[in-house]
Amino acid sequence: MTLDRRTVPTEAPEARTSEAGSATSDRTGRTAESGAAADGHPPARPDGPFPPAAALAATLAALAFAATLYAWLRGGGSIDLPWAPTLGLRLHFRLDALGALYALLATGIGAVVFLYSGRYLRLHLSHQGRPARDERSFYAFMLLFTVSMVGLATAQDLLLLFVFWDLTAIASYFLIGFDRHEAASWSGALMALLVTGITAVLLLVGSVMLFVAYGTFSLPEIIAEARPGPALTVAAALIALAGLAKSAQVPFHFWLPNAMAAPTPVSAYLHSAAMVAAGVLLIGRTYPLLQESELVLDGMLVVGLASMLAGGLIALTRERLKQVLAYSTVAQYGYMVALYGLGGAAGAAGGAFVVAAHALAKSALFMVSGAVTRASGGEERLGRLGGRWRTMPVVAGAGALAAAALAGLPLTAGFFKDELLFKAALEHGPVVTALVAAGPVLTLAYIGRFWGRIFLGSPKEAPTGPRSLATTLVAPIAVLALISLVFGLWTAPLESLAAEAGSVSLGGEPAGLSVAYHLDARATNLIALGVYTLGGLLLATYPRWLPVAQAFALVALRFGPERAYVSSLRQANRLSSALHRFEVRDLRRRVAAVLVPCGVLVTAGFLATPTLGQYEVGPLDGRDAPLAIVLALAAAAALAAMAPRSQLVLVLVLSSAGYSLAAVFALLGAPDVALVAVLVETLFALLFVAVFSLLPGGVLDREQSLSVPPSRRWRDPLIAVVSGLFALAVVWGTLSSPVPRGPRISERLIELAPAAHAQDVVTAILSDFRGLDTLAEATVLLIALAGVGGALSRARSS
Amino acid sequence: MTLLVSVVVAIVFGSGCYLLLKGDLFRVVAGTVLISNAAVLTLVGAGFTRGAAPIRPFPPGSEVSDPLVQALALTALIIGFGVTALLLTLAARVYASSRTVDLDQLSQIEATREDELEEAEA
Amino acid sequence: MTDLLFLPLLVPWLAAVGLVLLDGRRPGVAWLAVGALAAHLAALAVLAARVFERGPEQAVTGEWPAGVGIVVRADALGMVFALLSSAVILAALVHETLAGVGGRRFPALVVFMAAGLTGLFLARDVFNFYVFFEVAMISAYALSTYGGEARQAGAAFVFAVVNLLGSFLFLIAVAGIYHQTGTLDMDGVTTGLAAAGPNAAILIAVLVLVAFSVKLGLFPFHPWLPAVYIGARPAVAAILAGALANIGSYGVLRFGADLLPAQLRAGSIVLVVLGSASIVYGAVQAIGRRDSAEVLAYSAIGQVGYVLVAVGVGGAVGLGAAVLYALVNGLNKALLFLSIDLRGWLVGAAFAVGAFSVVGVPPAAGFLGKVVMFRAGVETGSVALVVLIFLGGALSFLYMFQLYQTDFWAGAREVGRSAPRTRVVVLVLAVLVLALGAWPEPLLAVSRDAAEALGPEGP
């Protein structure tokens, strides 16, 4: 099972999204398993008092919201503390309009969602047979997310921004993996982390590029200094890419539908209103840099439009509630990205406005889907629902409001998000306008389908969930839907906040934003009317169009980026396994892995430097004849050591090589070394013989008669020859003069030896001048002794 | 002289490497001994002067051998001895637990164990 | 003044000589070793504080002239690596002591290794460096058999053979250095090598590079490494990866940037290529591995590649990046390897901190490593280098979190819980990694100072 999960990190997309999937039975199958793993704690109960953790979280978020609002109304403010002076990093936060907008969204929607989570999570846990204490980590990560989002919204330093950026990804990762026993959570969490985490590195690279260019990570300072140029374009493009991935834009969008494995409150908060918004926030925050490059703006426009259309089309075909909403989120963030891509005051301020309008509506809709699913015994397929308005009228009403807001119907804040889009698009000609208008048409159709198939018609199956929903599951939906309505009627607060936020994005230029109803035949109104008509038509006739959309969805899923992700993961694992088969596992090749590259590097060094006149033969006269003979003897003994079949002969040959070398040392005027060498060689010979005596007779000779495979018959000697040659090059090369110009330390040693009270200079060196070496050398012997003792005692016992 | 010492070092080192590439535990230890000897010979060969032993009183008229390389060679010899002795006992212990001196068989055992480990994890 | 210079070396040395006579399986003995190491670390910290404040401190053994006696010097670079290594060793020893020491000589060997490493980081003499290097290595050979399994003896044998080969190559390089410069004192060696023949100097540089690459476990010298790490006890693996491997990073920095700067510049492309190959090779191998120790072993191979690349880039930024990356990597590996045998959600959280640190996600300290690496890459203007660092990071995301999820979400390590005391060290390390990331100034400042200690390549 695990192996499958690793090599196949996600279920094949068509299987997961197939309409006849048996996810429900799968889910119940796993319930037992996860319940058994719960360490003997009793499973959570769906009823009982409101969970205190949720109450605490909601209170904290509400307080944070109030504090943010108060601070903003009092004119913002900023904190600026040193952080890491070495890199000039500062803990610099400022509550400007852009920061206030996102901080208010994060804390406000957070408070509402926490309230909703209290009851929802207990139902969720009890459905899975898990203990109530599992919810602690849920609230911890949700709160971590809220804090990170506020930090992200107000951070003015690029590295600080990056820290909070990744903190939101960490919170998201653990929340998607909340149901860690489910395969979908396993792969969905990994996917979200890989896509958002790896693209976050692009933000880091872009920031570092700006740091290298301008010497600071401080965003206001960079914006003040920035001059257009290729370096700025690349940095801006990298930062924009990170933002696009976080906002689930094509081609990075696929992580979002898979993130729906998280419990619904997470989807309602992180994956619709807040974390996904972080991408757009980053774009808004760095917009003064991004808009320096037409290329980046055009790229954003293209990506935004593509996301808008692809997301809308696929949303039309999805069967699971949260999948519809996830693809809708992809499409809706496409609006914002397209607005920023269109540029100018309308784009920057419009982007900010749409974020808020969308967040309210989408968060409410996710909570609707959660409430419906919980009230239907876990059913989350549109085809099995229907007629739910009878059992849950309040949810149906609030859902209708939220759907209307998403679809941009008048009297809701959503109306203006479409209007702003049209207005910005009109400046860019009819083609862009037409493409842009296609988005709302699709929105109207898919969200109408979503709402209608849940609440209208007749129930396909009798609801099996609780008869009535807890107030805390319904009220949050109503609150958000009503706020959406209020801002549709009383536009001033949102309008001014968005205008000021847009001005921040434009680097201080005022961004006029007029949001009001005009009952006249202006272009935006005409487009809106056209959109309603076409959208309504599409909604009425969508079964006829569905095959087209389904074909598109199928192609997109089968050949799209998600498939590329899945297959690249699979390929990476496969490549790794293939490579591992070539991994060296025997000592011979481990040794060769040192010798061969060493030979290559020595050759390279040899070829790269002048060698003429660097090598000298050295003086050799008749006096040296004995020395030459002993040296030749040592060499001959070493060569002979390669041949013997019997290990005892090998030891003898080895010893004779050692003794020959001792004679060499003696002839070179090193009697001390010669003596120790004799001693050491003798000890070696004894040790070898002692060890051999532990082994049964004949084993050594028998094993040595093993035949050598033909491939090795030439390779081993070849490597040995190569090693000998590079040793020759190195030793000859380094032992040849140039004799150093300065005084040699050995002359000083000879002079100073009497001062060390020794007749033998070598003794003086060992005992006094370099006594530290001798002490350490004795330590080596001591450790060797300890190791030998340990190894031998264990060898005997085994 | 320099060339002669270098050639001998190369031969001893190369023979040692050949033994390291051999298929049995104790030849590998023997190879290490040879390579250790090659390094010590290099150290002694790195001396600047050649002549009488550097023990006072120096014989008049002749140069004194470089004492520093001798001290280094001594230290290196003893360190080499310590490490190689440990290696030899390790070899004995490997033999005692696996009942083979054939390194190919040993790497087979290692590979099997790794595969088992992988299967256990999976 | 010199009293304090030798104290961090003397304390573990004397303690270890005493400990080797005692039975380390007795808890009292193990705690004695912990006490000795703690005292050693404290002495080191005091010395380091002085070095960072007032600059390097130097002494010559026997108060002989420099070169006649051995020069011992504490500078910022040595202090940084000594502190890291000793902290990792102490963490591993405490961890093993809490879990129960299973070997008679384990505490003594661990303390010996601390002494050897400290001596090596303090040595300002190439041969003295070699001797302490061997003290640390022979402790490591003996330690790697710890744990008792039969296979481990084979792995220790492989470890010893391959690393001995590396050591002897280094010794040959030391002989060459002496013949070319007439001295062993590093200051004299630096000036001597600058005047030496280019061929001899480059050949010495090659041998030194090979010797340290073997210690680091750099591709293609790496094949000994997985064999040793996989079967080793977690504490031993943590020591090898978090402390012993520092010899390689420190050695490349000290011998490359300090002693052989011209050769480093000439061969920078080799370093970058070797490092890059290691990054990619280690990461790709790690992706398909199932066992935590295996993944971490290959991850270690990949991570040291960054250090080498940064050294290859050179300059104040590159060398600072190399130091910082080596520091963070040492801590990460200690944390992750020590957690291998443990289970429970707290261990999972600590492991996740380590995993986020490896991939470079803040606030875990690893992100600083990525920041400085990208800075070094961007400053060279090499797109290929930036892409490589990005790619290496992306692959590490895949292998770390595949492993994390398999172990803690769907595997054996999610069920059950380890005894609370065995988790202490891992949790402390995790908090440390988080704290260093959240307050990055110390890491950034010490790595800058350490890079500045590196002679001519510094700013």
Which residues of C are less than 8 Å from A607 in CB distance? none
- C356 vs A170: CB contact, 8 Å cut-off? yes
Residue A278 pLDDT grade (very low, low, confident, very high; cuts 50, 70, 90):
very high
- Between chains, do C138 and B83 touch, taking CB under 8 Å as contact? yes
When CB atoms are compared, the residue of C141, C175, C285 closest to A580 is C285
A86 → closest Cβ in C202, C220, C444 = C444
Tokens of A100: 């206030």
Could you tell me the residue ranges of all domains in chain C?
A: 273-459
Distance from CA of B36 to the nearest CA of A (A): 10
Are C20 and A193 in contact (CB < 8 Å)? no
A389 CB neighbour count, 10 Å cutoff: 18
pLDDT at residue B121 tops 70: no
- In angstroms, the separation between the Cα of residue C425 and the nearest Cα of chain A is 23
Q: What percent of chain A has pLDDT over 70?
A: 90
For residue A685, the distance in angstroms to the closest alpha carbon of chain B comes to 10
The verdict on residue A554 lying in a domain is: yes
pLDDT for residue A324: 95
Q: What pLDDT sits at residue A694?
A: 75
What span, in angstroms and rounded, lies between the C-alpha atoms of C185 and A744? Answer: 11
Contacts of B38 (CB under 8 A, 6+ apart): A727, B9, B12, B13, B16, C168, C172
CB-closest option in A84, A162, A745 to C68 = A745
Structure tokens at A581: 């088969």
Residue C159: the pLDDT is 93
pLDDT at A757: 85
Q: Is A223 helix (H, G, I), strand (E, B) or coil?
A: helix
pLDDT at A743: 72
Q: Do A141 and A167 sit in the same domain of this protein?
A: yes
Q: What is the number of alpha carbons within 13 Å of residue A655 lying toward its C-beta?
A: 18
pLDDT bracket for residue A423 (50, 70, 90)? confident
Query: What confidence score (pLDDT) does residue C176 get?
Result: 94
The answer to whether residues A653 and A517 belong to one domain is no
pLDDT in tens, A79-88: 999 999 999 8
Same domain, A610 and A629: no
CA distances from A131 to A35, A117, A125, A262 (A): 8, 16, 7, 17
Nearest to C330 by CA among C281, C359, C366, C356: C366
Q: What is the pLDDT of residue A621?
A: 76
| Weakest mean pLDDT among A229-233, A692-696, A794-798, C87-91 | A794-798
Tell me the average pLDDT across A117-130.
Answer: 90
Q: What percent of chain A has pLDDT over 90?
A: 61
Locus of tokens 């996301």: A307
* Positions of chain C with pLDDT lower than 70, given as ranges: 1-3, 148-150, 412, 414, 455-459
> Is this prediction's ipTM beyond 0.85?
yes
| Mutation target vs B (from C161, C163, C292, C407; most B CBs, 10 A cutoff) | C161
Please, are residues A117 and A265 in contact by the beta-carbon 8 Å criterion?
yes
In chain B, which residues have their Cβ closer than 8 Å to the Cβ of A723?
13-14, 17
Calculate how close chain A gets to B16, using CA atoms only, in Å.
8
Looking at residue A786, its pLDDT comes to 87
In a domain, A54, yes or no: no
* A40 assigned to some structural domain: no
Whole-angstrom Cα distance, residue C379 to residue C384? 12
Partner-chain contact A781 B78, CB within 8 Å? yes
Instruction: For an interface test with A, give the residue of C9, C22, C68 to mutate (most A CBs within 10 A).
Output: C68
pLDDT of residue B62: 77
Lowest mean pLDDT among A1-10, A381-390, A525-534, A614-623: A1-10
pLDDT computed for residue A618 by the predictor: 78
Nearest CA in chain C to A205: C374
Write down the pTM of the prediction: 0.93
Residues in CB range of B85: below 8 A, 6 or more apart = A683, A684, A687, A784, A788
Residues of C in contact with B20 (CB under 8 A): 161, 165
**Residue B48 confidence class, pLDDT cut points 50, 70, 90:** confident
Structural domain harbouring A414? 2-12+60-574
Tens digits of residue pLDDT in A707-740: 566 777 788 889 999 999 999 999 999 988 756 5
Q: What is the pLDDT of residues A70-107, one digit of tens each?
A: 999 998 889 999 999 999 899 999 999 999 999 999 99
Cα C139 from Cα C17, distance rounded (Å): 13
Kindly state whether C356 is in contact with chain A, defined as any CB-CB distance less than 8 angstroms: yes
- Whose structure tokens read 């199928």? A554
Amino acid at A292: E
Give the distance from CA C213 to its chain's centroid. Answer: 12
Instruction: Say if the Cβ atoms of C154 and B110 lie within 8 Å.
Output: yes
Asked if the structure places residue A179 within a domain, the reply is yes
Same-domain status, A177 and A285: yes
What lies within 8 Å, CB to CB, of A488 at 6+ separation is: A405, A410, A411, A412, A413, A414, A415, A416
Tell me: the pLDDT tens digits for A132-191? 888 999 999 999 999 999 999 999 999 999 999 999 999 999 999 999 888 899 999 999
Helices (H), C314-382: 315-338, 345-359, 366-380
The answer on pLDDT for B102 being more than 80 is: no
Which residues in A lie closer than 8 A to residue C103 (C-beta atoms)? Answer: 790
In a domain, A749, yes or no: yes
- Would you list which residues of chain B are within 8 Å, Cβ to Cβ, of chain C? 9, 20, 25, 28, 32, 35-36, 38-39, 42-43, 45-46, 48, 68-69, 72, 75-76, 79-80, 82-84, 86-87, 90-91, 93-94, 97-98, 106, 109-110, 113-114, 117-118, 120-122
A688 lies in the same domain as A753: no
pLDDT value at residue A791 = 61
Binned at pLDDT 50, 70 and 90, residue A742 comes out as: low
pLDDT-derived band at A777 (thresholds 50, 70, 90) equals very high
User: Using 50, 70 and 90 to split pLDDT, how confident is the model at A756?
Assistant: confident
Strands (E) across A190-231 are located at: none
At position A365, the amino acid (one-letter code) is: L
Please tell me the predicted confidence (pLDDT) of residue A485: 93
Q: What mean pLDDT do residues A566-581 have?
A: 93
Contact between B72 and C178 using a beta-carbon 8 Å cutoff = yes
Structure tokens at A617: 């033969």
Interface of B with A in 11-50 (CB under 8 A): 11-24, 26-30, 33-34, 37-38, 40-42, 44-50
Nearest chain C CA: its distance from A2 CA (Å): 7
Cis bond leading into A251, ω under 30°?
yes
Domains identified in chain A, total number = 4
Q: Do A618 and B2 touch (CB under 8 A)?
A: yes
Q: Tell if the CB–CB gap between B10 and A592 is shorter than 8 Å.
A: no
Query: Residue A340 — very low, low, confident or very high, per pLDDT cuts 50/70/90?
Result: very high
Whether the predicted pLDDT of A29 surpasses 50: no
Residue A124: CA count within 13 A, CB half-sphere: 22
A7 pLDDT exceeds 80? Answer: no
User: For residues A687 and A692, what is the distance between their CA atoms, to the nearest angstrom?
Assistant: 9
Mean pLDDT along residues A412-420:
88
The per-residue pLDDT for A11 is 36
Q: Where in chain B are the domains?
A: 2-121
B59-75 mean pLDDT: 89
pLDDT for the residue numbered C453: 87
**Residue A290: alpha-carbon gap to chain centroid:** 24
Distance CA A256, CA C218 (A): 39
Interface of C with B (CB under 8 A): 127, 130-131, 134, 137-138, 141-142, 145, 150-151, 153-157, 160-161, 164-165, 167-168, 171-172, 174-176, 178-179, 182, 184, 227, 230-231, 289-291, 294, 406, 411-412
Q: Quick one: A429 and A537 in the same domain? A: yes
Q: Round to whole Å and give the CA distance between A127 and C174.
A: 70
Amino acid C240 reads L
Same domain, A249 and A335: yes
Confirm if B65 and A685 have CB atoms less than 8 A apart: no
Instruction: Give the pLDDT of residue A27.
Output: 33
Mean pLDDT for B62-81 is: 92
User: What's residue A28's pLDDT?
Assistant: 32
Does one domain contain both A630 and A674? yes
| pLDDT for the residue numbered A15 | 35
Query: What is the spatial distance between Cα A585 and Cα A639, in angstroms, rounded to a whole number?
Result: 28
In chain B, % of residues over pLDDT 90: 48
Mean per-residue pLDDT over chain A, rounded: 87
CB distance A742–C169 less than 8 Å?
Answer: no
Q: In CATH, what is the architecture of B2-121?
A: Orthogonal Bundle (1.10)
Least confident of A38-42, A109-113, A684-688: A38-42
